[in-house]
Structure 1
Amino acid sequence: MRPSPTPENLGDGVWSVPVPIPGSPLGHTLVYALESARGPVLIDAGWEHPDAWAALRDGLATLGLDVTEISGVVVTHHHPDHSGLAGRVREASGAWIAMHHADAALVRLFHDMVRDGRARELRLASARKAGADIGDREAMGPPTDPPAVPDRELDDGDLVDLPGRKLRVVWTPGHSPGHICLHLEDGDRIFTGDHVLPRITPHIGLYPYDLPDVDPLGDFLDSLERVEEIEAGEVLPAHQYRFTGLAGRAREIAEHHEERLVEVTGLLTDRPSTLWELTAAMGWRSAWEAMSPISRQMAAGEAAAHLRTLERRGVARRYDGDEPIRFVLR
């Protein structure tokens, strides 16, 4: 077992600070700080929680960095373990927050939904449409406050505002529509967020389950092929630990999803099956019966993403009938 990480000077003006994720088996988010002439720029910020804020602030201090001097925060994607503290950093330092425009649009939508009180009802409606038996609304978990709306929006190929350095945006949709990796071209490193992790595969889900005209898993597989071509000596992910061999690890993750696609194909027949039935029949790390409602919802999102890719490949099709959503082998 690897020891728990501590704040670390990685050399060449790059630092790493582990920020805890309360109650998560992931343990922590690795927040990176990059030196610049205008003050350090963070890559991700961590979960919004008092303990996480203390870890970020104090971890930076042990490295000789002051959170009040942060000039910017680049968020790899909108998920709360990456974006949650960005707003608090901005309050403390006046830093800008940057995010890919696709995830920035989602953040604005989340704020609108919370303001209008629609977030919980939409989650429940989506789960019911998939065939889930949702008896206890509270079992779906409390809603998470949306992250801070970014000040700047990024696009593929942009250079981040990092004076004296070349940190280029690589758009890698899949885990989220606007997920980005960041290639430090003058330092032979790539920051991969949740796109490529050393030992686990990121969650690729489809939400809502009947969302049309999107293929998150197909986008993710295309993004993996893209990063395979990037020459970077060291990979700095947002979870677990640094590693080398980006292309090989990207291929391993792609192979894992191809195996899952074969598994889902084997469950399809000419008898219409609900998304929930197919999800329950798939193999998961925990037994389906022991999974919490939230874990089942995430599993259904992942199953839906694989089914959408099979639809695009001409293997599966949506059954034309009443709700809940059903699938058959084409």
Structure 2
Amino acid sequence: MVEVTGTAQRAAWQQKVLPPVEQVRPGLWSIPVPMAGSPLRYVLVYALALPDGVALVDAGWPTDDAWTALVDGLGECGYAITDVRAVLITHWHADHLGLAGTVREASGAWVGMHPLDAAAVKGRGGGDRRAWVEGLSTWVRARGGSADDVTETVVMVADSRGMRALAEPDRLIDDGDLPLGPGSVRAVWTPGHTAGHLCFLDEGQRLLLAGDHVLPRISPNITLHPGQSTDPLGDFLESLTRTGSLPVDEVLPAHEYRFAGLPDRVTALHEHHAARLAEVTTLLAAAPESTTWELAAQLTWSRPWPQVQGMIRRSAVGETYAHLAHLARLGAVARMDGEVDRWRLA
């Protein structure tokens, strides 16, 4: 059974407001950092007390409002931004890594992440908007997207949000590492949402700082992008199974609210993806030679497809593509030859 433990966080989520800064355990705080314009609303940054300052798990979206919330939140915990000694990054996405460079400049803190996500940041081109747009536009067209789809899901998103360079790490963190030293959190490699996604396990307090790997209400987006594993969904399902056996009483996710009942949540996520794989197969049986884009438009989402727009639509197509790639690895479907995805039952 999944039990909500972050009751103030859930109440704030339901009221669509920012939750409070909370002391979760002695020496451990959650700090909500807003994400303007995102349905996720905020990132929960975690502050861990150190003998000579504080470490952060994730940093937040790179905006002025987010920076103010992070600095003020640290103040509520009794720290200044200059007290930050380390920033542990669960994964390279901008809502988690975005402010890490600014924190480093203000405090001298080191930034650490998994080698595979460090490579993803390096391959992103340091905020080169043109290269980013060209690469994603090619990806959208290969999935069966039209010229209008490219404009709406890539170009307009880039224009509205802008491109910012993301911080490259000072240190690499591998599975099993103790980045803050003995007796502190242990890194757990959980690929899927990104190739180098990390959770951080506090074995003494039986807590899992889960990033986007396990969330209380939704499944993290699993997308197949160039440079990733050929089966990120398979990676995710395998790492989910490993995560479910960890000695954890409470999960501290990066979005929404804290919860208990990790094994049951893992089971629910497995069931969700099994149902999605079955839905994809059923659609493909009814409409052979469909493109990834066409299949995505027919799948069941949390809102009608015409309301799934911009970056969210691109993410939905990416998730459909990841499910198709997993089915292809299992031998259930096959991609037909051609520049644009077309799929058939195998």
TM-score, normalised to structure 2, is: 0.90
SS in 2 for 1:71: strand
Q: Say if 1:312 and 1:183 are closer, same or farther in 2 by CA, change over 3 A.
A: same
Unaligned segments of structure 2, at least 5 residues = 1-9, 13-17
> What's the CA shift for 1:136?
7.2
**What does residue 298 of structure 1 align with?**
315
Counterpart Cα distance in 2 of 1:176 and 1:314: 24
Residue deviations 1:119-157 (CA, integer Å, cap 9, x gap): 111111111111111237553211532310110011111
Mapping of residues 289-328 of structure 1, within 5 Å: 289-320=306-337, 322-328=338-344
- State whether structure 2 residue 6 is matched by structure 1 residue 2: no
SS in 2 for 1:273: coil
Work out which structure has the larger RCO, using CA pairs closer than 8 Å and 6 or more positions apart in sequence: 2
2:134 counterpart (90, 104, 121): 121
Mapping of residues 137-152 of structure 1, within 5 Å: 138-139=151-152, 140=154, 141-142=157-158, 143-152=162-171
Mapping of residues 175-254 of structure 1, within 5 Å: 175-208=193-226, 214-254=230-270
Residue deviations 1:62-94 (CA, integer Å, cap 9, x gap): 121111110000000001111111111101100
Structure 2 counterpart of 1:80, one-letter code: A
> What's the CA shift for 1:272?
1.3
Deviates further, 8-17 or 49-58 = 8-17
**What does residue 68 of structure 1 align with?**
82
SS in 2 for 1:198: coil
**What does residue 11 of structure 1 align with?**
25
**What does residue 91 of structure 1 align with?**
105
Counterpart Cα distance in 2 of 1:286 and 1:25: 12
Structure 2 counterpart of 1:32, one-letter code: Y
> What's the CA shift for 1:308?
0.6
> What's the CA shift for 1:175?
0.3
Unaligned segments of structure 1, at least 5 residues = none
Counterpart Cα distance in 2 of 1:168 and 1:192: 12
SS in 2 for 1:17: strand
Equivalent pairs, count: 325
Q: RMSD in angstroms over aligned alpha carbons?
A: 1.7
> What's the CA shift for 1:271?
3.0
Which has a greater percent of helix? 2
Counterpart Cα distance in 1 of 2:148 and 2:262: 44
Q: Say if 1:182 and 1:279 are closer, same or farther in 2 by CA, change over 3 A.
A: same
The answer to whether the Cα contact below 8 Å between 2:190 and 2:197 also exists between their aligned partners in 1 is yes
The answer to whether the Cα contact below 8 Å between 1:36 and 1:165 also exists between their aligned partners in 2 is no
**What does residue 42 of structure 2 align with?**
28
Counterpart Cα distance in 2 of 1:129 and 1:136: 12
Structure 1 counterpart of 2:179, one-letter code: V
**What does residue 7 of structure 2 align with?**
none
SS in 2 for 1:2: helix
Mapping of residues 255-294 of structure 1, within 5 Å: 255-269=271-285, 271-294=288-311
Counterpart Cα distance in 2 of 1:201 and 1:44: 19
Counterpart Cα distance in 1 of 2:165 and 2:53: 27
Counterpart Cα distance in 2 of 1:10 and 1:131: 46
Q: Say if 1:116 and 1:252 are closer, same or farther in 2 by CA, change over 3 A.
A: closer
